[in-house]
Amino acid sequence: MEIFQSITLFLGGALLVFAGTMRLLRPSSSLCLDTFLSDSSNNLRNDHDLTSEMRGAGVITAFFGIVVLLGILVPELRLTSLISATIFYLGYALGRGVSWVTDGEPTKRTKQGFGFEIVLGSLNAISLVSALI
């Protein structure tokens, strides 16, 4: 089960580091800004608050990814990593699910993100339960 946990932590952590780093470096390429930027009157160069929010969320995401990846290398952090990954992914999935019900059907890319979050959150939850048993 330790190999399963390591693979799950690697996949989840690497994705978080990548997504967070991309949001930090290129906030305008973020999926959540597609609709906002599709209106030509909206421009991130003039909205420093929005850019700051995007970059801040990116750093938090990347840091969570680092914590998750550390669980592979430092056995004492494995439980913390599994808890962090489970909360992060299932929390995002829950938020997207609530939005889907209350706000309407999202785009295909958002649905794909939801799918990844459900799968990775579930895999991390399974790993967490196995680590506690």
Handedness of CA 2, 6, 9, 11 (dihedral sign): negative
Report the b/e string of 105-114 with b at 16+ CB within 10 A: eeeeebeebb
State the average pLDDT over residues 89-94.
96
- pLDDT computed for residue 34 by the predictor: 65
* Domain boundary assignment for the chain: 2-132
Confidence check: pLDDT of 32 > 90:
no
102: amino acid identity, one letter: T
Instruction: State the average pLDDT for the chain.
Output: 90
Residues 6 or more apart whose Cβ sits within 8 Å of residue 129: none
Structure tokens that stand for 54 in this block: 């995007």
As a residue count, the chain comes to: 133
| pLDDT tens profile 39-51 | 677 666 667 788 8
Task: Select from 43, 35, 46, 42 the least CA-distant residue to 106.
Answer: 35
| pLDDT tens profile 99-113 | 999 999 988 888 998
